[in-house]
Amino acid sequence: MSIGEDLDDRALVARFLGTRDEASFRMLYRRYTPAMYGLALRLLSRRSDAEDVVQEAWIRATERLGGFRWDASIRTWLSSIVVNCCREASRTDWRWISEENPASEGRALAVPALELTVDVDRAIAKLPSGCRSVFVLHDIEGRTHQEIGTLLDIDPGTSKSQLFHARRHLRSLLQ
Amino acid sequence: MSEFRHDIDPPAALEERVVARLRSRGLVRPAKQRSGMVVAAVTAAVMCLGIGYAAGLWHGGVVALPLDTGPEFILLLHDTPELAANPAGGRVEEYRRWAQQVSADGYAIRGEKLKDVPGQTLAGFFIVQAPSREAAEALAATCPHARLGGRIEIREIDPT
């Protein structure tokens, strides 16, 4: 991220916090929601669930934005909120690859995937929700296992294990 | 794999839903602050609308909508056989609460019930000011008329 882009984000957030006006919020929304929605869609697979998560994530973000200390980019902070909302949304359907459940059952990813990524996106959607989250957060979003452990409330060792299983399963799906 | 981190544009209507939700919670201030007098007038008109509908007439009262706050849309409420199964008296409170909530969310709104004409499906209308057609469609989707099985036709008003 360039310094100029970082200053624009800070200025926009500061303006929104100072006025709480709708125009400032819409600029924030339009800048970050495509990334938030993309992440939610990959973690949950269903459009309606992803939309609900985006809505809930923005409610929490606007409530807490005043306390944001810029120790990470605002995009990273917002994605953390999305991940937490996704966990809550799918709490009853959180499944992991285990030795007892090697075959994954996934929901079809109903998104307008880019032509070059359609196979990968569909394969990711077929992973069980738990290891899919680890894979998306590590290999696509670039999070560390420590960060993933905090976000998903799992041990970093579990994160590494699930990533191993996810990558192995994806290879078999993409062959 | 990070090259597969492509953003996905959300549905256009989602923005209006999110903004409306934040407005209702006081987390975002409406685009145009209306004076207390205008808000009171709209609220009074909506209450008259509900009382008149209960009496079989829908005398909503005329409230001039602000002309400088974006396009206006008319929501034409058509009856359907499914809707006819719901007694009109039972719908009064729902329509009134919905209009009050729309007003509280920052939208100017008025409505009228039309007298029944045999063979005609048009039963009433709302006129609402919204920033875009997508916003008007999102609002219409929340109207009790849609949930109860009625059909809502949306037309943008051509200011003349």
**DSSP secondary structure, B31-46, as one string:** SSPPPHHHHHHHHHHH
Cα–Cα distance list, B46 to B12, B97, B143 (Å): 29, 9, 14
Answer whether B4 sits within 8 Å of A117, measured CB to CB: yes
**Phi, psi for B14 (deg, rounded to 5):** -65, -35
Residue B3 amino acid letter: E
Q: What is the pLDDT of residue B51?
A: 47
How far does the CA of residue A44 sit from the closest CA of chain B (Å)? 14
In angstroms, the CA B152 to CA B141 distance is 9
Q: What is the pLDDT along chain B (160 residues), one digit of tens a residue?
A: 555 566 888 998 999 999 999 988 889 987 655 444 444 444 444 454 444 443 333 334 333 344 445 688 999 999 888 777 766 666 767 887 788 778 766 778 888 888 888 888 898 899 988 877 877 887 888 888 887 888 999 999 988 7
Residue that the structure tokens 């394969």 belong to = A123
* Nearest by CB: A59 against B6, B8, B27: B27
How far does the CA of residue A141 sit from the closest CA of chain B (Å)? 7
Name chain A contacts of B25, Cβ cutoff 8 Å: 59
Which residue out of B7, B16, B17, B18 would a mutagenesis test of the A interface target, given it has the greatest number of A Cβ atoms within 10 Å?
Answer: B18
CA closest to B2 among chain A residues: A140
How far does the CA of residue A125 sit from the closest CA of chain B (Å)? 13
Instruction: Copy the structure tokens of residue B137.
Output: 């469609």
How far does the CA of residue A73 sit from the closest CA of chain B (Å)? 16
In angstroms, the CA B76 to CA B123 distance is 8
Burial level of A136, CB count in 10 A (0-12/13-18/19+)? buried
In angstroms, the CA B38 to CA B65 distance is 9
**ipTM for this prediction:** 0.73
Contact A36, A78 (CB under 8 A): yes
- Could you read off the pLDDT of A112-132 as tens digits, one per residue? 334 345 577 778 888 888 888
- Name beta bridge partners: B113: B124
Answer whether B29 sits within 8 Å of A20, measured CB to CB: yes
* Nearest by CB: A34 against B4, B8, B23: B8
Q: What is the pLDDT along chain A (175 residues), one digit of tens a residue?
A: 333 344 488 888 988 888 888 988 999 999 999 999 999 988 887 888 999 999 999 999 999 998 888 888 898 899 999 998 988 887 645 555 443 333 333 333 333 334 345 577 778 888 888 888 999 899 888 889 998 888 888 899 999 999 998 988 888 887 6
Count Cβ neighbours within 10 Å for each residue of A151-164 and write b for 16 or more, e otherwise.
Answer: bbebeeebbebbbe
Contact B110, B45 (CB under 8 A): yes
Instruction: Copy the structure tokens of residue B21.
Output: 């939700």
Which residue out of B2, B5, B8, B19 would a mutagenesis test of the A interface target, given it has the greatest number of A Cβ atoms within 10 Å?
Answer: B8
Q: What is the CA radius of gyration of chain A?
A: 17
In angstroms, the CA A3 to CA A80 distance is 22
Name chain A contacts of B27, Cβ cutoff 8 Å: 20, 59, 62-63
- Name beta bridge partners: B112: B125
CA closest to A61 among chain B residues: B27
Percentage of residues of chain A with pLDDT beyond 70: 79
Residue A175 amino acid letter: Q
- Could you read off the pLDDT of A144-163 as tens digits, one per residue? 999 888 888 889 999 999 99
pTM more than 0.80: no
